[in-house]
Amino acid sequence: MNSIQGLLNGFSNVVTPTNLSFTFIGCLLGTIIGVLPGLGPVATMALLLPLTYKISSPTTTVVMMAGIYYGAMYGGSTTSILLNIPGEAASVITCIDGHEMAKQGKAGPALGIAAIGSFIAGTISVIGLTFVAPPLAEIALKFGPAEYFSLATLGLVLATYLISGKSVIKGFIMVIFGLFLGTIGLDPVSGSMRFTLDIPALYGGIDFVTLAMGFFGIAEMLTNLEKQESIQVIATKIGRIYPTLKEWADSLMAILRGSFVGFFLGILPGGGGVMASLLSYALEKRLSRHPERFGKGAIEGVAAPESANNAGATSSFIPLLTLGIPGNTSIAMIFAVLLIAGIQPGPFLIVEHPEVFWSVIASMYIGNVMLLALNLPLIGLWVQLLKIPYSLLATIISLLCLIGVYSVQNNIFDVIFMIIFGVVGYLLRKFDFEAGPLLLAFVLGPICERSLVRALMISEGKISVFLTRPISAVMLSITAILVVLSVIDSIKRSKSQNM
């Protein structure tokens, strides 16, 4: 099946009333949680994971979750511009020039160019996804257990290196913690129990829904309740939304460059929206004839990062759909949704479940149009939404967490584990430990273990199999270089602090 035919089949599947409705719901929820400070796509998808057990069609569930993810990238610009508070991590860079424009009475054009740039970038990126993903899946079919082990290891290290926050060492500690949690339960090789402490509820391992809702639902809520920030929406009237011709001229190349930067960085594990928006902003400042305007309300400083983070959100689906490797925490949630539905993401997805593969891509074309319609005319509504007290949202979140986790298996132990993970996640955040690497390690750990065992069985126990196969050797070499660089960087930081 070629890309065009597959895409047409995907559109025919998505435009059914059910799938179209859930695509819209995902985009709407994504926009709302992007607008509301303190919430994010990971926490929202964690809250909605129990719902996936109730929806019969995996396509319906995945298009909704995907809409939440890339919809949050659209919505995050609203709080960045109006409040100087990023609604989503990838919108941090938008605060720099977006809020300055708002203070100058240009909030409307800033919000307008953010929405239009996001639409253009999202469309460019999904076109790239349409034509890049199928050939990449064909290449991935040639991967053996050795290549998958090396790829999962590289993805884990690279993602940790990029999303672990200020300290890479803390990121690696969280990876070890995540790998440990992933080993609890039945050993896939020997069949013996590991680290269960003779607790029957742990014999089947830790449930992903319980872990995710604890670390990203409960912990996120506790962290945000602790903050005593008073949110003040910019007093200036928003005014016109659509940019002038001059503002268009200043923004067009920034949007295009940001789209391509975001697309290629999104493919890398851990690249995603945050890194893409940062690099695109730096690139625009470097190429600008008037770099002194950046930080003082340059519209390019809004157009570039917003385009990049939306392009990166879309292209981050490529390693998931073609290799079965989630590159960031949000994509790990969608990875879990597919597994819950009995679908293994990876190179066989396009062959065994083409309706899911192409429906996800087709839904992104439709979702981008929906998001443009949601973000431009309803800006006034999103401003009013910002006035909802977080204490009320926290009550709703707590109730959803408790009901959601219990409804999955009707097991009170899952509720207890969720609360424990929530408290642990909250305490870890107090000491600046990021939860993202832990969740990625929990997902990628079993992939690494299964691939390692299979590769060693095929090679009759020879470790050299990982180095004699070229692709595997290259990926392990890159992994080793990243580890060495992180150690050197940590040593330099400790020396500079001691001086």
Please say if the pLDDT value at position 329 is more than 80. no
Give me the pLDDT at residue 163, please.
Answer: 59
In this prediction, residues 205-226 reach a mean pLDDT of 78
Comparison of pLDDT for 20 and 226, the residue scoring more? 20
User: Is residue 87, in this structure, part of any structural domain at all?
Assistant: yes
- For residue 313, what are the domain limits? 3-150+205-410
pLDDT classification of 24: cutoffs 50, 70, 90:
very high
Give me the pLDDT at residue 387, please.
Answer: 66
Give me the pLDDT at residue 366, please.
Answer: 92
Give me the pLDDT at residue 209, please.
Answer: 74
SS3 of the chain: the string is: CCHHHHHHHHHHHHCCHHHHHHHHHHHHHHHHHHHCCCCCHHHHHHHHHHHHHCCCCHHHHHHHHHHHHHHHHHHHHHHHHHHCCCCCHHHCCHHHHHHHHHHCCCHHHHHHHHHHHHHHHHHHHHHHHHHHHHHHHHHHCCCCHHHHHHHHHHHHHHHHHHHCCCCHHHHHHHHHHHHHHHHCEECCCCCCEECCCCCHHHCCCCCHHHHHHHHHHHHHHHHHHHCCCCCCCCCCCCCCCCCCHHHHHHHHHHHHHHHHHHHHHHHCCCCHHHHHHHHHHHHHHHHCCCHHHCCCCCCHHHHHHHHHHHHHHHHCHHHHHHHCCCCCHHHHHHHHHHHHCCCCCCCCHHHHCHHHHHHHHHHHHHHHHHHHHHHCCCHHHHHHHCCCCHHHHHHHHHHHHHHHHHHHHCCHHHHHHHHHHHHHHHHHHHCCCCCHHHHHHHHHHHHHHHHHHHHHHHCCCCCCHHHHCHHHHHHHHHHHHHHHHHHHHHHHHHHHHHC
User: Is residue 114, in this structure, part of any structural domain at all?
Assistant: yes
pLDDT classification of 237: cutoffs 50, 70, 90:
low
Please say if the pLDDT value at position 442 is more than 70. yes
Give me the pLDDT at residue 21, please.
Answer: 92
Calculate the average pLDDT of the chain: 80
Instruction: Report the domain count for the chain.
Output: 1
The pLDDT tens digits for 341-356 are 888 888 888 888 888 8
User: Is residue 441, in this structure, part of any structural domain at all?
Assistant: no
CA 413 to chain centre: 28
pLDDT classification of 365: cutoffs 50, 70, 90:
very high
Comparison of pLDDT for 354 and 390, the residue scoring more? 354
User: Is residue 183, in this structure, part of any structural domain at all?
Assistant: no
pLDDT classification of 497: cutoffs 50, 70, 90:
low
Give me the pLDDT at residue 238, please.
Answer: 64
Give me the pLDDT at residue 20, please.
Answer: 92
User: Is residue 428, in this structure, part of any structural domain at all?
Assistant: no
User: Is residue 244, in this structure, part of any structural domain at all?
Assistant: yes
Comparison of pLDDT for 362 and 221, the residue scoring more? 362
pLDDT classification of 86: cutoffs 50, 70, 90:
low
User: Is residue 446, in this structure, part of any structural domain at all?
Assistant: no
Least confident of 86-95, 134-143, 296-305, 473-482: 86-95
User: Beta strands 185-186 and 193-194: pairing type?
Assistant: antiparallel
Please say if the pLDDT value at position 96 is more than 80. no
User: Is residue 284, in this structure, part of any structural domain at all?
Assistant: yes
Please say if the pLDDT value at position 51 is more than 80. no
The pLDDT tens digits for 239-257 are 677 788 888 888 889 999 9
Give me the pLDDT at residue 373, please.
Answer: 81
pLDDT classification of 301: cutoffs 50, 70, 90:
confident
> For residues 236 and 250, what is the distance between their CA atoms, to the nearest angstrom?
23
Give me the pLDDT at residue 165, please.
Answer: 56
Please say if the pLDDT value at position 187 is more than 70. yes
> For residues 439 and 353, what is the distance between their CA atoms, to the nearest angstrom?
26
**% of the chain surpassing 70 pLDDT:** 87
